[in-house]
Amino acid sequence: MARKKRKTPGINGSSSADIAFMLLIFFLITTSMDTDMGLTRRLPPLSPNKEKQPDIEINDRNIMRILVNKNDEIVLLKKGLTGSQDQVINIKLSDLKKRTKEFITNPANRPDLPEKEVREVAGLGQMELVTSSYAISIKNQIETSYQMYISVQNELIAAYNEVWDEFALKHFRKSYKELAPTQQKAVLEAYPLHISEMPLSNLK
């Protein structure tokens, strides 16, 4: 007598949608996505009224003027003496960090770099440091490439990071990131971040 063939039971697919939905939720929750990091800048406060605010004069030696042209060339501009031409210094991107560190700290107390002053630093007492009114001014030409713009910003921030680390190691025997918030505040009081960006222009 012939045996009857058993039918293979079909796979129940009624729960497939639920499983797929649960997997989707799992991957959305566990997947980490990269986020763009913004550049640290302090914007000027909004004026409470439209009255003209008095201009703050800054000694030229306390300003580091960085110009980036359409050819991605970096230029340092120094104001000349009365009646003399401005001094233009071409530098490479690889030298920008060193130049910036020298400007921020002025270790040799050079007359063409920020002037020194004695001021109180929280937890460290009276210290002779560069004036807190110095500024690093960046101006880019409209045709400057985005990559060069970012590279210049990175070199400036790298210079600050090294200055902060060196100061922290000298006075607290720790890197800046390892310091307590109050100690980090003291480092920033000693060497505040003063970077300003000028409007884009057609530099000649």
Please write the tens of the pLDDT for every residue from 133-152. 999 999 998 888 999 999 99
Handedness of CA 67, 71, 73, 79 (dihedral sign): negative
Tokens 């770099």 belong to residue = 113
User: Is 90 exceeded by the pLDDT of residue 160?
Assistant: yes
Amino acid 6 reads: R
User: Which of 96, 17, 22 shows the shortest CA–CA distance to 64?
Assistant: 96
Averaged pLDDT for residues 79-105: 83
Please give the residue that has the higher pLDDT: either 32 or 36. 32
Of the given ranges (45-49, 75-79, 85-89, 188-192), which has the lowest mean pLDDT? 45-49
Three-class secondary structure of residue 70 per DSSP: coil
The token pair that represents 159 in the structure block? 């210079």
Q: What is the pLDDT of residue 86?
A: 72
Please give the residue that has the higher pLDDT: either 185 or 24. 185
The token pair that represents 179 in the structure block? 């310091």
* Alpha carbons 24 and 59: distance in angstroms, whole number: 60
The answer to whether 131 touches 60, Cβ cutoff 8 Å, is no
The answer to whether 69 touches 203, Cβ cutoff 8 Å, is yes
Strands (E), 45-177: 63-68, 74-78, 87-91, 116-121, 125-130, 135-140
* Alpha carbons 85 and 8: distance in angstroms, whole number: 94
* Alpha carbons 106 and 9: distance in angstroms, whole number: 84
User: Is 50 exceeded by the pLDDT of residue 75?
Assistant: yes
The answer to whether 187 touches 167, Cβ cutoff 8 Å, is yes
User: Is 70 exceeded by the pLDDT of residue 132?
Assistant: yes
Q: What is the pLDDT of residue 90?
A: 92
Q: What is the pLDDT of residue 27?
A: 78
Handedness of CA 8, 14, 19, 20 (dihedral sign): positive
Averaged pLDDT for residues 65-92: 81
User: Is 70 exceeded by the pLDDT of residue 121?
Assistant: yes
User: Is 70 exceeded by the pLDDT of residue 102?
Assistant: yes
The token pair that represents 43 in the structure block? 């914007």
With a pLDDT cut of 70, the percent of the chain lying above it is 74
